[in-house]
């Protein structure tokens, strides 16, 4: 499989190492020096650049009929436009806020627990996400996905808000009416990424936690997604990949 990499920072280089180890070839590496380069000769593109560059890269790949896997976050307000182009070009695009297989299983558990909490009014939810000091955006795309999924699976919550204390959300949140999911963003050291969803009642606490040990898990998931996407047509997420794998 010939791969075009859009974004050749730490994540792009980790993806390259995984791809080469699996017997694939990287035929294009795009960074600021050659921005806008077309994915000529590629079977699939993997996009891990910046929100400012991601839309252009996606559109470019779709115009060239090259399937594209997108790990960049911060562009989802444009998803309807991308979906329309996927349909118009009869192309294929797979996006996710996090490509780690473990995180996507974590997403599934989060949705299941949120549904179970629909009738458990004493429990209130909070999310904590911890990353390295070099990560400038807050909250993380993964935390936002967790919060959005909670809102989709229980009518007790709608939307999210940054807070200093997600484990002690505002009294009444999610009890009498829809509350926002509180998210605490911590930036410290070189932490690759830790996410915790906590449901707390006056009597006890339930916490789901995912801790990444490095970038390898994200890179492996991105390459697995690219392998899965080749030969398919449409707009997909990692849920589709996991359903296909298992």
Catalytic residues: 131, 135
Name residue, tokens 């998803």: 79
Give me the residue label for tokens 């906590």. Answer: 198
Helix locations, 5-50, DSSP H? 10-21
Q: Which helix (H) or strand (E) holds 82?
A: helix 79-89
Between 216-229 and 238-245, two packed helices, what is the crossing angle to 10 degrees?
A: 80
- The 3-state DSSP class for residue 22 equals coil
Helices and strands, counts by H and E, the chain: 7, 11
Q: Give the DSSP H or E segment for 195.
A: strand 194-200
In 3D space, the residue among 26, 28, 33, 25 whose CA is nearest the CA of residue 61 turns out to be 28
Note whether 28 and 37 are within 8 A (CB). Answer: yes
The DSSP secondary-structure symbol of 224 reads H
Quickly count: other Cβ atoms within 10 Å of residue 145's Cβ. Answer: 22
Q: Is 102 helix (H, G, I), strand (E, B) or coil?
A: helix
């Amino acid at each position: 499989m010939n791969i075009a990499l859009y974004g050749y920072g730490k994540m792009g280089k980790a993806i390259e190492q995984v791809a080469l180890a699996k017997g694939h070839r990287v035929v294009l590496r795009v960074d600021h020096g050659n921005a806008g380069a077309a994915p000529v000769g590629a079977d699939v593109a993997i996009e891990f650049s910046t929100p400012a560059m991601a839309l252009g890269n996606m559109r470019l790949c779709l115009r060239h009929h090259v399937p594209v896997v997108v790990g960049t976050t911060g562009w989802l307000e444009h998803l309807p436009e991308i979906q329309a182009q996927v349909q118009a070009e009869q192309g294929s695009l797979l996006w996710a806020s996090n490509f780690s297989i473990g995180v996507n299983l974590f997403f599934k558990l989060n949705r299941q627990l949120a549904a179970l909490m629909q009738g458990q009014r004493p429990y209130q939810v909070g999310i904590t996400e911890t990353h390295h000091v070099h990560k400038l955006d807050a909250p993380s795309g993964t935390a936002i996905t967790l919060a959005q999924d909670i809102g989709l699976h229980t009518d007790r919550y709608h939307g999210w808000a940054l807070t200093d204390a997600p484990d002690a959300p505002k009294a009444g949140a999610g009890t009498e009416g829809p509350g926002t999911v509180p998210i605490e963003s911590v930036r410290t050291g070189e932490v690759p990424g830790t996410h915790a969803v906590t449901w707390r009642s006056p009597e006890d606490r339930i916490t789901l936690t995912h801790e990444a040990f490095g970038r390898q898990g994200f890179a492996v998931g991105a390459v697995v997604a690219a392998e899965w996407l080749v030969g398919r047509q449409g707009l997909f997420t990692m849920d589709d990949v996991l359903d296909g794998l298992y």
